């Protein structure tokens, strides 16, 4: 910061805050002391607290959003240590992924080398920021000691039927040259390339059966009180549970006794069904088009149009249209024959890919029937006597069935249950539940990921063979030539592909796809509890001690990626047994509390290289120091809100820290003379200035302690510290004149140092030493707020007349209603305001206000 050479330190200079000198000095001391932030054993007897921020991708540089994320978690971790908890605060690297391969293509650096050097650079930044991570538990997901457990889990899941292979339509990103999970497709585009449309390809891929846990994942959301409602809502929408019924309609006059099964949430309206609508990709349609030379081109054209619309992103704008197939099916409830259509708005992969169309009671069916002149038949009404009703009539809660055979007169909701049961009894349907959630596609046609531990052998032509657990890890070959053509890069490494079959010992070929990187992050936080275990992913006792995570902190962008996958994985592990036959873990949810911090923006816009508004953390630290940078990130806005980065604000925080530094060093000598001693709670022993200072101090302690336990509005925590510092500055004359005793000054400055410790750890460590504090400030017990000293003798009571403020009176605390009323009426301004009017009502809220209502 200060470039000027200044070999001779004057006493003036000694009091100048110089983070460029302080911070590296403490950083070196902390780096040399790995025990400082190490979690203790369960035997410590302290309450455990697992504080975790989402691990970063090692891109090579922390950005300012990271600084904010980790400043929040670091403040919390330090606070919990000071409150006496056994804190686990680990860090690691989400180190597999495409950028490493892209860098390899571009700069000809091996992905491993690129990734590891990025990690080293970012670790340096973390240390420079003074983050309190327990580096002894560091994990790096691209190293075999980590990813071998991905493979281990994969084998367990394969055996449990949770990992399986199927051919299906999958999302393909032409830039990444790989398949993407549904969760990685945003508005039809790749989550990594917002300009790149995702294509649909038919491929055989590995899936994890997340749908088996769909109901549990949904129900579990209700138990997550400590999660933001927003995230819970997003997950509910993503899972998209829909209760309804399936009904099978036999195709009329069909030699092969074919049928169409539809999914509907309104089986009660089935008497109003006037057609069936099938997705163009529906197997039955595909069957007919194989020989129906009239239908085939029309359906083909429909699919082509759909594909085009999907790729241009305006699927919603495309007009709904259909093609009659010329075939019909029998409604099993009525025996009636209704026509079968192909319609472009029916999704092949939702429900059964076929619906029954009830124009009278569904908006879209109504539009469709109107367009094609299909009959519209009313079967629901508010009551049996309604004969004039605007259609479509959508109500189901207050509706009853009409013209529906034996169900006529039944309320809709009851009819739904009864009719589904009837269908099941008759063998042509059943009540069922459909989800929007699909199984998680985990195969990636890329190199830099965990190899999938399966082999293909002629001895088992239909079923891939899992490798032996003892042969793990299946190592990712290094020094390979990476290209983006011709499928998975591993397929071009014969030493990798060619292996022996674990079943027949004959020659076999390995799976050459790798796992989605979200696999790595689905369980990484368990590994921290036992990071060096080479016998198991982790020891169950250790995981059970630390889990669930007490506080998880990260960006909301993972609401339906990482945060749903890891909830799934937690349940899978709970249902797997470890080597001792016990469940691997006991908890069903990974994190008791989740906090999603807001984005850091600049000049009202998201930071991006193309906008040229990226703020570099290193530059901020160079100019103002790590403490000021971190503290500003917490001060500028409440942590859940977006934060607009203003460099002037960082400078302001730096000035504030400099003021603290000046005060603490100025009076440091006082603390050298005597040990800190408890201030007896007795006002008679203290000057009025001391009482005033102690009051400000204890009010601040109370405020910050409360902020940490509840709202996390660190912006107001820091502003209350500023108020305290302003009060200390105002007390300086009294301190210098000896009217405030040294023990009070020392108490105040040491407590102040403790209170800034979660936010500005370097300065806190420096001042704790200057002030002769005991031990390490981050482990020193958090100061407790004294009610006695915080108490105000007089409170300001606003006096209103007809709800308008007239004056503010200082009145003794605890004054009762009559006293407050009398004081208000005795005031000159009040008297002037109510002169000539009659007092009709007096509202007195003791300790709050007086409102005189006059006419």
Q: Is 249 in the site for RNA (CB under 7 A)?
A: no
Contact letters (x/-) for RNA, 813-832, by CB under 7 A?
A: ----------------x---
- Tell me 126's DSSP state: H
C-beta of 4 vs 8, nearer to RNA? 4
Rounded distance, CA 247 to CA 261, Å? Answer: 5
Nearest to 438 by CA among 349, 568, 346: 349
Is residue 803 at the binding interface for RNA, with CB under 7 A as the rule?
A: yes
Q: Is 266 in the site for RNA (CB under 7 A)?
A: yes
For RNA, the closer of residues 624 and 782 by Cβ is 624
In whole angstroms, what is the distance from residue 567 CA to residue 511 CA? 27
Report the site for RNA in 362-391 (rule: CB under 7 A): 362, 364
Q: List helix spans (H) across 757-796.
A: 761-770, 787-790
Does 846 contact RNA by CB under 7 A? no
Residue from 318, 421, 668, 776 that binds RNA (CB under 7 A)? 318
- For position 514 contacting RNA by CB under 7 A, the verdict is no
Site string for RNA, 728-767 (x = CB under 7 A): -xx-------------------------------------
Q: From the list 60, 411, 649, 742, which residue makes contact with RNA (rule: CB under 7 A)? A: 649
Least spacing, CB of residue 120 vs RNA, in Å? 33
Given 62, 401, 584, 643, the residue binding RNA (CB under 7 A) = 643
Contact flag: residue 237 with RNA (CB under 7 A): yes
Which residue lies nearer to RNA by CB, 282 or 527?
282
Gyration radius of the chain's alpha carbons:
35
Residues 291-310 that bind RNA (CB under 7 A): 306, 309
The least CB distance from residue 184 to RNA, in Å, is 10
| Angstrom distance (rounded) from CA 327 to CA 339 | 6
Query: For residue 366, which of 301, 274, 487 has the smallest C-alpha distance?
Result: 274
Residue 757 CA, distance from chain mean position: 27
In the list 396, 644, 676, 687, the residue contacting RNA (rule: CB under 7 A) is 644
What is the DSSP code string of 670-739? HHHHS---PPPS-GGGS-HHHHHHHHHHHHHHHHHHHHHHTT--HHHHHHHHHHHHHHHHHHHHHHHTTS
Considering the rule CB under 7 A, would residue 805 count as an interface residue with RNA?
yes
How far, in Å, CA of 787 to CA of 43, rounded?
34
Q: How far is the CB of 688 from RNA (least distance, A)?
A: 19
Q: Which residue in the set 465, 536, 668, 723 belongs to the binding site for RNA (CB under 7 A)?
A: 723
Closest distance of CB 828 from RNA, Å = 10
User: Judged by CB under 7 A, which stretch of 341-349, 379-387, 511-519, 682-690 contacts RNA?
Assistant: 341-349
Token duo for residue 694: 């102690």
- CA–CA separation, 511 vs 464, rounded Å? 9
Among 18, 196, 200, 242, binds RNA (CB under 7 A): 242
355 in contact with RNA (CB under 7 A):
yes
Give least dist CB 531 to RNA, A.
33
**Residue 328 CA from chain centroid, whole number:** 49
Q: Enumerate residues 658-677 that contact RNA by CB under 7 A.
A: 658-659
Question: Based on CB atoms, which residue is closest to RNA, 41 or 194?
Answer: 194
Interface stretch with RNA, choices 229-237, 465-473, 500-508, 772-780 (CB under 7 A): 229-237
Residue 719 near RNA by CB under 7 A: yes
d(CA 799, CA 802): 10
Q: Considering only 81-89, 167-175, 247-255, 799-807, which stretch makes contact with RNA by CB under 7 A? A: 799-807
CA distance linking residue 517 with residue 442, whole number of Å? 8
Site for RNA in 521-580 (CB under 7 A): 556, 559-560
CB-based contact 840:855 (threshold 8 Å)? yes
Q: Does 703 bind RNA (CB under 7 A)?
A: yes
CA distance 475 to 219: 39
Which tokens sit at 774? 């005991």
Evaluate whether 403 touches 378 at the Cβ level (below 8 Å): yes
| Beta pairing partners, 354 | 278
Distances (CA, A) of 115 to 22, 96, 120: 31, 8, 9
Token pair recorded at residue 813: 């605390």
Q: Find the part of the chain contacting RNA (CB under 7 A) among 22-30, 72-80, 654-662, 783-791.
A: 654-662
């Amino acid at each position: 910061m200060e470039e000027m050479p200044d070999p001779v330190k004057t006493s003036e200079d000694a009091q100048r805050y110089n983070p460029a000198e302080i911070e590296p000095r403490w950083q070196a001391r902390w780096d040399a002391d790995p025990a400082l932030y190490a979690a203790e054993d369960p035997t410590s007897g302290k309450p455990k607290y697992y504080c975790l921020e989402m691990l970063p991708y090692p891109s090579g540089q922390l950005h300012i959003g990271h600084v904010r994320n980790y400043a929040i978690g670091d403040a919390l971790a330090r606070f919990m240590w000071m409150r006496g908890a056994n804190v686990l605060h680990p860090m690691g690297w989400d180190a597999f992924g495409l950028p490493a391969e892209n860098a390899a293509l571009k700069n000809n650096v091996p992905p491993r080398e690129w990734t590891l050097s990025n990690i080293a650079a970012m670790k340096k930044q973390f240390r420079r920021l003074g983050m309190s991570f327990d580096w002894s538990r560091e994990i790096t997901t691209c190293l075999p000691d980590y990813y071998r457990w991905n493979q281990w889990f994969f084998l367990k899941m394969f055996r449990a039927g949770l990992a399986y292979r199927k051919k299906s339509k999958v999302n393909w990103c032409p830039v990444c040259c790989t398949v993407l999970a549904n969760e990685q497709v945003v508005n039809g585009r790749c989550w990594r390339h917002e300009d790149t449309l995702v294509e649909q390809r038919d491929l055989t891929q590995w899936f994890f059966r997340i749908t088996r846990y769909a109901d549990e994942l949904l129900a579990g959301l209700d138990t997550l009180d400590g999660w933001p409602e927003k995230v819970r809502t997003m997950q509910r929408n993503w899972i998209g549970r829909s209760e309804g019924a399936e009904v099978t309609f036999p195709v009329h006059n069909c030699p092969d006794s074919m049928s169409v099964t539809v999914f509907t949430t309104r089986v009660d309206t089935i008497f109003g069904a006037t057609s069936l609508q099938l997705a163009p990709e529906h197997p039955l349609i595909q069957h007919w088009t194989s020989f129906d030379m009239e239908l085939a081109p029309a359906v083909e054209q429909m699919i082509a149009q759909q594909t085009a619309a999907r790729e241009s992103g305006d699927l919603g704008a495309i007009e709904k249209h259909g093609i009659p197939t010329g075939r019909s099916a029998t409604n099993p409830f009525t025996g009636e024959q209704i026509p079968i259509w192909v319609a472009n708005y029916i999704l092949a992969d939702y429900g059964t890919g076929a619906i029954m169309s009830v124009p009278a009671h569904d908006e879209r069916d109504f539009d469709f029937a109107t367009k094609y002149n299909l009959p519209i038949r009313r079967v629901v009404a508010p009551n049996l006597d309604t004969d004039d009703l605007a259609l479509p009539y959508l109500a189901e809660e207050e509706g009853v069935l009409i013209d529906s055979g034996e169900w006529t007169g039944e309320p809709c909701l009851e009819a739904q249950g009864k009719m589904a049961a009837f269908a099941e009894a008759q063998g042509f349907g059943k009540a069922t539940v459909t989800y929007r959630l699909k199984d998680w596609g985990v195969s990636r046609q890329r190199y830099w990921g965990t190899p999938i531990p399966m082999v293909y052998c002629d001895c088992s032509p239909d079923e891939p063979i899992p490798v032996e657990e003892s042969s793990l890890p299946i190592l990712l070959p290094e020094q390979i030539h990476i290209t983006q053509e011709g499928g998975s890069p591993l397929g071009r490494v014969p030493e990798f592909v060619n292996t022996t079959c674990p079943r027949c010992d004959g020659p076999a070929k390995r799976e050459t796809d790798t796992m989605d990187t979200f696999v790595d992050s689905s369980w990484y936080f368990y590994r921290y509890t036992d990071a060096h275990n080479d016998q198991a992913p982790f020891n169950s006792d250790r995981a059970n001690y630390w889990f669930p995570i007490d506080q998880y902190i990260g960006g909301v962008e993972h609401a339906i990626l990482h945060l749903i996958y890891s909830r799934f994985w937690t349940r899978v592990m709970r249902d797997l047994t470890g080597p001792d036959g016990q469940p691997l873990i006991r908890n069903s949810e990974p994190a008791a509390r989740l906090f999603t911090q807001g984005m850091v923006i600049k000049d009202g816009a998201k930071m991006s290289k193309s906008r040229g508004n990226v703020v570099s953390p290193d530059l901020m630290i160079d100019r103002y120091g790590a403490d000021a940078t971190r503290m500003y990130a917490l001060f500028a806005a409440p942590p859940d809100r977006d934060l607009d980065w203003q460099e002037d604000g960082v400078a302001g925080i730096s000035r504030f820290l400099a003021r603290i530094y000046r005060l603490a060093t100025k009076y440091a000598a006082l603390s050298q003379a005597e040990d800190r001693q408890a201030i007896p709670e007795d006002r008679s022993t203290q000057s009025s200035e001391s009482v005033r200072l102690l009051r400000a101090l204890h009010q601040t302690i109370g405020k910050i302690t409360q902020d940490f336990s509840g709202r996390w509005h660190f912006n107001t925590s820091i502003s209350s510290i500023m108020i305290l510092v302003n009060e200390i500055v105002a007390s300086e004359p009294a301190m210098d004149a000896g009217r405030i005793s040294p023990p009070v000054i020392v108490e105040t400055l040491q407590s102040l140092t403790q209170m800034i410790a979660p936010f500005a750890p370097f300065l806190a460590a420096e001042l704790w030493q200057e002030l002769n504090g005991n031990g390490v400030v981050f482990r020193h017990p958090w100061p407790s707020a004294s009610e006695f000293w915080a108490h105000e003798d007089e409170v300001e009571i606003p006096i209103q007349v007809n709800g308008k403020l007239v004056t503010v009176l200082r009145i003794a605390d605890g004054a009762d209603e009559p006293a407050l009323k009398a004081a208000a009426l005795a005031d000159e301004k009040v008297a002037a305001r109510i002169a000539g009017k009659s007092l009709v009502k007096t509202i007195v809220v003791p300790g709050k206000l007086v409102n005189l209502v006059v006419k």
